[in-house]
Chains A and B, each alone.
Chain A
Amino acid sequence: MNAQGSPTRPLVGFAALLLVLGIVALDALQAEPVDPFAVPPPVALGSGQAPSGAHCSGG
């Protein structure tokens, strides 16, 4: 905390990282694990595969 009673930026930033880590950890407990032999090619361009379609602009 600083003199005005607000938490410092490093403290809040660290809390944001913990939030992300918590979400990833929770997901790891319930989602299908990633199959290392079925991961997509490193780069979509030139892969011959269509994009997933999971994007903000999709319905």
Chain B
Amino acid sequence: MMARRLALFAAGLALVAATFSWAGPRAAFLVAIGLGFGLVLEGLRFGFAGPWRRIVTERDARGLVAQLLAIGATAAIALPLLAAAPGELAGAHAPVGVGMILGAFIFGMAMQVVLGCGSGTLVNAGSGNLVGLVALVGFIAGSFAGTLHLGFWTGLGTLPVITFQGMLGDHGGLVLTLAALGLVGYAAIRHAAPGKRLPPLRLWVAAGLIAALAVLNLIVAGQPWGIVYGLGLWGAKIAEIGVADLAATAYWTSPANAERLSASILTDTTSLTNIGLIVGAFLAMRWRRLPDAPPAALTLPSWAFVLIAGLVLGYTARMAFGCNVGAFFSGISTGSLHGWVWFAAAFGGSLLGLRLRGLVLVPLATTTARGAA
């Protein structure tokens, strides 16, 4: 056991060292931060989709309150940093629009079907959940496909970018963000059943570590933690190897995206943290004395639904200017109104997704039993 854990530790260090030698110190820092995200999310069981399900089905607010704590702690440091260094750091600021709201709603629905959001899909895949791995393949394809149609969705009607600090000033924006987080947390705690209101120590620690890593991400990368951009880039690079001519697309010819497309993946911020996150989740899973049991085998149509749900997750995350990380976590913690609208729309979609999950994911054992009966 000790030998295996030493080997896992050495593997993590080797990944960071290899990235350093290949792409320089910033890339190595970002892979290390991604490793940290993966270790915390998988090792301390900090998630997004599961707590949204439990607040509805079990009146359990502990996971959701931990999310709000992590976002609030990040905002308390990130917003002053953004104000102090506007030329070097940027928030996750995006416009609210018809396509954005629709995308967030459908994303929330799909994330309950596969029980994995943006970060959750990466964690699930890395920690050996086959549903997560199949969904990840769909997510990559979907987030690339979403880049091809983003102009259409934003053309349906989009407000200007609105931030709390833009409305109320730097200090007022932070106060409003923390007050709104507190209000949602209070409502969740009031709704929760006794004994399921405040997070256990494990989730307090996880929330603190996630906030620390998110702030480090902002300081090192100059932009907040994100997921979906990197996956869309991976899809674009795979498509280019095939037959796609991305020189004719509006999204991939914009200067920032064209530069990322021609450069190595190891120069892209979100790709680096995504790689670290998947590897970190794998290391956390292997660190345990006994890995968790794998999820139940599904029927063939259910696997097809998982792939489609992954595709939908990726596509709608692109429509919505981010997933639970890029829009919900990083949008809210850097003062963007679109983060709050994403939260409301995705939570509404999540309620519908909870009803759909049992209908589309059918364990193989259930159908076998039905056949035998």
Contacts and interface: CB of A to CB of B under 8 A. Distances in A.
Contacts of A30: 237, 240-241
Contact of B295 (A6, A19, A33): A6
Contacts of B237: 23, 26-27, 30-31
B265 interface: yes
B336 interface: yes
Given A12-B128, A13-B282, A49 B88 contact: yes
Contacts of A16: 125-126, 128, 132-133, 136, 278, 282
Interface stretch (B50-58, B190-198, B214-222): B214-222
B89 A44 contact: yes
A19 B122 CA distance: 12
Nearest to B284: A13
Contact of A43 (B126, B129, B219, B330): B219
B26 A40 contact: yes
B223 A43 contact: no
Given A40-B24, A45-B89, A50-B88, A57 B322 contact: yes
Nearest to A51: B222
A39 B130 contact: no
A16 B275 CA distance: 10
B234 A23 contact: yes
A52 B260 contact: yes
The interface residues of chain B, by DSSP majority, are classed as helix
A42 B286 CA distance: 30
Interface in B184-225: 218-224
Q: Which of A8, A47, A57 has the most CB of B within 10 A?
A: A57
Contacts of A48: 87-88
Given A16-B133, A52-B256, A8 B92 contact: no
Interface residues of B, number: 88
Interface stretch (B67-75, B174-182, B266-274): B266-274
A46 B265 contact: no
Q: Which of B130, B293, B330 has the most CB of A within 10 A?
A: B130
A56 B257 CA distance: 11
Contact of A20 (B24, B228, B229, B278): B278
Interface in B302-332: 317, 321-323, 325-327, 330-331
Interface string B226-250: 1111000110011011000000000
A27 B241 CA distance: 9
Given A8-B291, A26-B238, A44-B88, A34 B278 contact: no
B262 A31 contact: yes
B262 A57 contact: no
A6 B336 contact: no
A13 B331 CA distance: 30
A26 B241 contact: yes
B6 interface: no
Interface in B45-93: 81, 85, 87-93
Given A43-B219, A54-B270, 12 more contacts: A9-B294, A12-B128, A12-B130, A12-B294, A47-B88, A48-B87, A52-B259, A54-B233, A54-B269, A55-B90, A56-B317, A56-B322
6 contacts: A31-B237, A39-B26, A49-B222, A53-B256, A55-B223, A55-B224
Interface of B: 22-27, 29, 81, 85, 87-94, 125-130, 132-133, 136-137, 150, 154, 218-224, 226-229, 233-234, 237-238, 240-241, 251, 254, 256-257, 259-260, 262-270, 275, 278-279, 281-282, 285-286, 291-297, 317, 321-323, 325-327, 330-331, 336, 338, 364-365
